[in-house]
A and B are shown apart, each in its own frame.
Chain A
């Protein structure tokens, strides 16, 4: 098992190096001089330009600059935002919990609905439930989620007036940031109505973000179940008179879950892309909105580091999925 983990880790090194090269190169291939870009519209004198270039290390050879970039990276120093002047890492850490909370709730919704629907559709293959749920899954899979979010706002916020349109919690509540998760912090604070307010802000964005993963998980669970149900050991279990619930629940489901777990893990990248759109629509103060705002403000240090952090995160989650996969399925570990 340790060899398996080490092998996976080693495999990631070149990919991570590639990610850092892309993030580093991103500012370089931009048209224009980075110092001039930082100076903005005020302009800059030639002396100041030379001094700044030296200070930022732009006068050194490119490979040395890259190594210095890597060195700072390993010390957690990602530079400062051009707009707020605050360290990028600090900004990331403040906004990150909001995205994690949204993403976690979304993936819980997607799994809690997607897996049972997929299993039921597979057991009742060809029934009306199978047909309706799989049609719905294909619609969900084809959904432009930025439009879906707007529709939900029109209906639930505009017509019914049930949910707020944007933000994480109503402005009348204020409490210390303990975990960064609004749902948990609002309970800790003990303020009446705070939790309900946080929940009502969270529900629409998380449903929107859950839509595509939900569809993918339902479809994947169905096809994995169908495949497993045709296996010899399932037929054997049936033939020896085991109750159907046990055949499905123990023999089939456990084996069908292996590809489903991979699918759930692979949704992290999808979630990050979805977070950009969802957070923009609902003005959710997370890293998706932060990235979009920084791109439109041309705040390059933030874009560069955000790219790096998000790709690193996706890579890490994929590694965890791979390891879990090896843990449940010994055949993979010993290949």
Chain B
């Protein structure tokens, strides 16, 4: 007989972890639905040029405020009608998906990287480094996020880039706190001591030994922040502080449509519905991720 120990390759372990994850994720039906909707949104955003019937800024002067096709007065070619200057609603909504997903990705990336870095520093070194960093995070958290983002945008000047930076700054403390808490829980564990004894340097300990074991709560928070970023950037756009007209960001579209609220329901209803559906899909997915990644809930 050869040796009885089973040696699993790293790849096999990873495959097993993914299979486990998928098993638990699939238990939550809402999460799976949310995932499909989200994937559809990504596809629509990526292939917007192919899917959209018209250019999002093309104005059809002979077709102002045309209602959707199923309503009386609807015109073929304008499935969801047109807005006040004759732009195709469907095309604008499709291109709007690009904005929302782009904003979500950028905001979460900035907030996540910044938060992880700051949180690792605070959790790993402790002492005054920890105190100073965490007090600064507390100060940021003391402001209502939308208000702070609004004021930051007022300082930086309205626009999409500044709105994204402002929202990322406001979200960053959540990631910092989570990372710090996870690092403080992990750093006294045996495997970290073992790595330290084996001669791993500070950087290696921080980023290669400890960080991968703190990722679960961060992934869940990242999904939550993604949906909040879509909501908050739409709110900033609605208040005139985010993406500027004529861009087809959904919040900006809503702001432009406000005056037609009682005359043309579709210009108001559809952009908001698009925001709601994408945020809902991401939140559904987030619930499923939390169930699948949280070992405490797994056992019950």
Contacts and interface: CB of A to CB of B under 8 A. Distances in A.
Interface of A: 14-15, 18-19, 21-22, 26, 29-30, 135, 138-139, 141-144, 146-148, 150-151, 153-154, 158, 230, 269-270, 272-273, 276-277, 280, 291-292, 295-296, 298, 303, 307, 310-311, 314-315
Given A141-B283, A150-B258, A307 B143 contact: yes
Nearest to A135: B30
22 contacts: A14-B138, A15-B139, A18-B138, A26-B155, A29-B155, A144-B231, A144-B234, A150-B261, A273-B147, A277-B146, A277-B235, A280-B239, A291-B147, A291-B150, A292-B239, A303-B154, A310-B143, A310-B144, A311-B143, A314-B142, A314-B143, A315-B142
A298 B241 CA distance: 13
B136 interface: yes
B238 interface: yes
- Top 6 A-B residue pairs of the complex, sorted by shortest distance between their CB atoms: A147-B272, A18-B139, A273-B146, A142-B279, A273-B144, A142-B280
Contact of A314 (B30, B144, B279): B144
A135 B144 CA distance: 26
Interface string B215-239: 0000000000001000100110011
B266 to A, nearest CB: 11
Interface extent on B, as a size class? 35 or more
B70 interface: no
A75 to B, nearest CB: 22
Contacts of A269: 143-145
B265 A138 contact: no
B151 interface: yes
A146 B139 contact: no
Contact of B272 (A151, A292, A295): A151
A146 B284 CA distance: 21
A4 to B, nearest CB: 19
A242 B227 CA distance: 44
B32 to A, nearest CB: 15
A148 B258 CA distance: 12
B261 A307 contact: no
A272 B144 contact: yes
Nearest to B153: A295
Contact of A154 (B227, B238, B262, B287): B262
Nearest to A131: B30
B275 interface: yes
Interface string B161-203: 0000000000000000000000000000000000000000000
Contacts of B139: 15, 18-19, 21-22
A144 B142 contact: no
B240 interface: yes
A295 B283 contact: no
Interface in B129-162: 135-136, 138-139, 142-148, 150-151, 154-155
Contact of A30 (B142, B147, B155): B155
Given A277-B235, A310-B144, A292 B254 contact: no
B269 interface: yes
B147 A138 contact: no
B66 interface: no
B268 interface: yes
B136 A150 contact: no
A144 B135 contact: no
A141 B30 CA distance: 15
B142 A292 contact: no
A158 B258 CA distance: 13
B276 interface: yes
Nearest to A307: B151
B138 A15 contact: yes
B228 to A, nearest CB: 10
A146 B254 contact: yes
B94 to A, nearest CB: 18
Contacts of A141: 283
A270 B251 CA distance: 19
Interface in B268-300: 268-269, 271-272, 275-276, 279-280, 283-284, 287, 300
B279 A144 contact: yes
A141 B287 CA distance: 12
Contacts of A273: 144-147
B276 A154 contact: no
A158 B154 CA distance: 34
A144 B150 contact: no
A322 B34 CA distance: 36
B147 A310 contact: yes
B33 to A, nearest CB: 11
A54 to B, nearest CB: 26
Nearest to B255: A146
